[in-house]
Chains A and B, each alone.
Chain A
Amino acid sequence: MTEPVIHNPVGAAQAARLPEKARSQWRDVWDQFRTHKGALTGLGFFVFILLAVIVGPLLWDIDPKYIDIRARNSGPSLAHPFGTDQLGRDTLARMIAGGRTSVSVGLMAMALSLVLGTFIGVLAGYFRRLDGLFMRFTDLFLALPLLPLLLVIILLFRDALRSAFGPEAGIFILIVGVIGITSWMQTARIVRGDVLALKEREFVLAARSIGTPSRRMITRHILPNVMSPIMVSATLGIANAIITESALSFLGLGFPSDFPTWGRLLFDSTDYLQQYPERVMWPGLAISLTVLSVNYIGDGLRDALDPRIRGR
């Protein structure tokens, strides 16, 4: 990085002051983010969950599919800290495996809906000709009854995708796809609104006056400036995707039982509610706390990225 040339009319008068290190915008955002206790706790917990599902299988190397029928329905012990299920599978290992699926579904579906939402939002906001068409399209999507349609789509395409990509990858693609294409509308609306406002700003006018083409205008000037609403809706997107996936699994239309997710574990545990009520706690708490932490991160980010609040 080259040192910026500083035009300093006061010159020598300021020479005594040490050159302060330039603070990047993200440094400011982080400083503001740190003051939000809930957000910091949420970030800590979310990182913990991520670590648990990424390195967890290395540390706790019991196979989640290993059936030890003699140890079935056992309570918490040293060998099985969370107990075992009705087939003697280790609950901790299944929780880690389930978390891996749930969190990756959340992240992938969020990414898909963000890309779609940003794409439509930016195009609708930037090109006036596309605005009416794209926004009517968004309104139509918002009027669709999403949960019933999700159920119907999964019912229809489950078998086709399973035979095409195998039972696990097929259902994964299906669930990530349907959650992604049914949750981009809020992002698109927010991004469009921000792009519309940005388009009237002076720096966009200046860039236009030196003949910047639309493509570079969007990637260099518009997109970096709508990053903050996109990041906030990313956190909401993760929360929404995890809850939707769990709801689908809970209704018996998500992942199969031998391929656990948190929602599926919760659904399977409800059959044993009378005998082993504590078994529903682990997956339920995992879903709720992850979503809670992500929501708090979103709350903190919203404050941190708002320049009117930052620095006060």
Chain B
Amino acid sequence: MLTFTIRRLFLSVPTLLFIGLVIFLLLELAPGDPMAQVPLTVPPEVKEKMRLALGLGEPGHIRFMKWLVQFFWIEPLNLFDHIFGTGFAEGKLRVISWQTRSPVMDIVMQRIPQTLWVVGLAYVVGVLIALPIGIYSAYRQYSVFDQAGTFVAMIGYSVPPFFSGVLLIVIFSVKLGWLPSIYDTTHVVNDWASFKVQLMQMIMPVMVLALQTTAQISRFMRASMLDNLNQDYVRTARAKGMTESVVVMVHVLRNSMIPVVTVIALGVPGIFGGAIITEQVFKVNGIGQLLITAIQANDLPMVQTLTFIFAILIVVFNLIADVLYGVLDPRIRYD
């Protein structure tokens, strides 16, 4: 198992390099010019120097290498310095945003907590709702509950977050006035009252994202439970005289969870992608919103870094899913 993990880790390096190259080459074609905002009175040779200072004006392959070094060596060094108070990265050029002229990773680090709070919580809530629904739907297959679950899952698949989010805002913010429609990131939680405000503003974005997770995972849980409920070992367990709850909740559930756990791991990067839209609906200033503003402002280093972070998430969670599957299911051995 360890050799498999190590081999997969090595295999993910070329994948990431390829993705980084694709993103880089795409942005090479960008028509935008970071010097467009500079006044016309600035002489061309000064502009050329400013361009060089931004890391432009060199051949493509050198800039790609420089970006790789910046992303994989200098940025981690900065993180190390930040944690331990050392000075390894001093004087080294970091990835600089064209919008703010400050390091991209600093801005990303400011934005990530908001995204993680909303997206992460939504995923946890979605999974927690989905699992019992899936288990009960499978146990009572074709019952009214199961039919209703199928219908709700279909709706969860079909209603896009930009409509379900807007719909929730219309109902709960405009008509009823119960919940705020805009997520206030500057809000500080320090006592019970402010915690309640935080809870109120999180309910809607979390629910919108959770609906999609629930739809997907509950269907998967149901299918996996149905596969296991007809197996011979279930009959054996019942024949041994075990109570129904032990049979279902221990024997069947544990085996059914194996594929579901990997699906849960695989779904994590997807929900970050979905968060781009949800953040836009509820005006959460997380990394999704950062990406949209960077795209509109033609801030290429920011776009490149953020897209690459999304790619890393996908590759890492694919790896986690593969390894988890091998660990949980002894029938599956890759080597």
A binding-site residues for B, Cβ under 8 Å: 38, 139-140, 143-149, 151-153, 155-157, 159-160, 239, 243, 246-247, 250-253, 263, 266-267, 270, 273-274, 277, 280, 284, 287-289, 291-292, 295-296, 299
Contacts and interface: CB of A to CB of B under 8 A. Distances in A.
B158 A291 contact: yes
Contact of A143 (B26, B170, B291, B318): B318
Contact of B273 (A146, A152, A284, A292): A146
Contacts of B273: 145-148
A170 B303 CA distance: 24
A213 to B, nearest CB: 35
A202 B22 CA distance: 43
A148 B154 contact: no
B311 A152 contact: no
A34 B306 CA distance: 48
Nearest to A136: B15
B307 A250 contact: no
A156 B29 contact: yes
A289 B157 CA distance: 11
B315 interface: yes
Contact of B18 (A140, A239, A263): A140
Interface residues of B, number: 45
A145 B163 contact: no
B250 interface: no
17 contacts: A140-B15, A143-B19, A145-B307, A148-B306, A148-B307, A151-B292, A151-B295, A152-B23, A156-B26, A251-B277, A270-B281, A273-B181, A277-B174, A288-B155, A288-B160, A288-B163, A295-B154
A292 B167 CA distance: 17
A277 B181 CA distance: 13
A148 B163 contact: no
A251 B161 CA distance: 12
6 smallest CB-CB distances across A and B, nearest first, come from A145-B310, A284-B163, A292-B158, A291-B158, A277-B170, A250-B162
Interface in B108-163: 154-155, 157-160, 162-163
Given A156-B26, A273-B169, A247 B162 contact: yes
Nearest to B314: A143
B276 A148 contact: yes
B27 A152 contact: yes
B166 A280 contact: yes
A147 B276 contact: yes
B15 A143 contact: yes
B65 interface: no
A152 B15 contact: no
Most buried by B among A38, A156, A253, A292: A156
A157 B162 CA distance: 25
Given A156-B29, A247-B277, A284 B314 contact: no
B30 interface: yes
A292 B158 CA distance: 5
Interface string B50-81: 00000000000000000000000000000000
A128 B162 CA distance: 43
Interface string B279-308: 011000000000110011010000100110
